[in-house]
């Protein structure tokens, strides 16, 4: 997969990854690597996402494990939790608007 994330500074950040396993609708596991302008990896993660119905609600579990990092990746790792929380909050808002 190829992901382009555009930052508030309007800079595009290239990411490439591979889906390792998928079991719709409950499980997704993938790698994603943040690319440097020269094409090298700054950071590579293994992300596991699972969904489970619990008392009429959906429980989302997300686990991210850093597989590879450079010294420059520290700022990316520091912002990872906030970034995921923002993405999940946007998903919840979108789902609420569509229901």
**Strand-pair category, 27-35 with 12-23:** antiparallel
Tell me the C-alpha distance between 80 and 38, whole Å: 23
The pLDDT of 71-96, averaged and rounded, is: 93
Tell me the C-alpha distance between 95 and 99, whole Å: 6
| Exposure letters 30-61 (e unless 16+ CB within 10 A, then b) | bbbbbbeeeeebbbbbebeeeeeeeeeeeeee
The pLDDT of 58-80, averaged and rounded, is: 95
The pLDDT of 88-99, averaged and rounded, is: 91
pLDDT band of residue 33 (cuts 50, 70, 90) is: very high
List the domains of the chain with CATH numbers.
2-98 (3.30.530.20)
What are 38-58's pLDDT values in tens digits? 999 999 999 999 999 999 999
Tell me the C-alpha distance between 34 and 7, whole Å: 13
Q: What is the pTM of this model?
A: 0.85
């Amino acid at each position: 997969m190829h992901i382009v994330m555009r930052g508030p500074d309007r800079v595009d950040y290239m990411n490439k990854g591979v889906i390792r396993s998928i079991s719709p609708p409950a499980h997704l596991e993938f790698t994603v690597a943040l690319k440097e302008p020269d094409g090298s990896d700054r950071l590579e993660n293994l992300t596991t996402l699972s969904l489970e119905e619990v008392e009429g609600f959906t429980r989302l579990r997300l686990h991210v494990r850093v597989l590879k990092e450079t010294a420059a990746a520290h700022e990316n790792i520091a912002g990872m939790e906030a970034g995921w929380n923002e993405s999940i909050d946007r998903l919840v808002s979108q789902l609420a608007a569509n229901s």
